[in-house]
Amino acid sequence: MEKIRLQKFFTENNIMSRRNAEKVIEAGNVKINGVIARLGDKVDPESDTVTFNGKVIKPLPKSDKRYIMLNKPLGYVCTVSDEKGRDTVMELVKDVGQRVYPVGRLDMYSEGLLLLTNDGELTNRLTHPKGNMPKTYSVVIKGEISAEALSRLTSPMEIDGYKLKPVKVRILSVKNGATNTLFTLSEGRNRQIRKMCDACGLTIMRLTRISIGSLKLGELERGKWRDLTEAEVNYLSGKTNKI
């Protein structure tokens, strides 16, 4: 079998993220066939023995289910195909090797954490309106937010005939003519933050989803994707309450 980088071996087998794999390799906690591994080393999953802190890491059996995180850039729509001919997120995950689908949506002008999978059960769990998985967004708003607007954003609000659940809004800073905020939603209505801000007379300059529950976008490069770890999948599936 063709050799792969050690970091990829860890991510493909849902042990840990590529970044964390690099850290444990640098710390000397990983061995290949009894020899301490170094960054850049490659392994043959079928013939080499990889240990982490003395425990043998066995390759997972091939599965039809796949779970990935994408750092969605601006300008892409979250559909498999688009009747208007616009770029879709599917173009960014062509090298996944399996057919996956977006879990929920980020509009064309929003960016950040997007999950894709072929696991329908998990998709339903995460996209159901009554789901309680909080989602946090970094939102840059033009100008300052008045006390009145902030109070309205965090109070019960009705959008499209639906009474929204309370939203947490935290102001991080006000500089260069813009207010940097964090919005945390306990539900994910269509274009909810944009509609809330429109209702308050606020203009959004940039909107980025940075986390879903405890799952964080981290330092994943814009336009890039990675497989979720087993711990992350278990967390999203409700099997554990932490990652």
Catalytic residues: 107
State both tokens at 176: 């260069």
Within 8 A by CB and 6+ apart from 23, the residues are: none
User: Which residues, in sequence order, are bridge partners of residue 174?
Assistant: 179
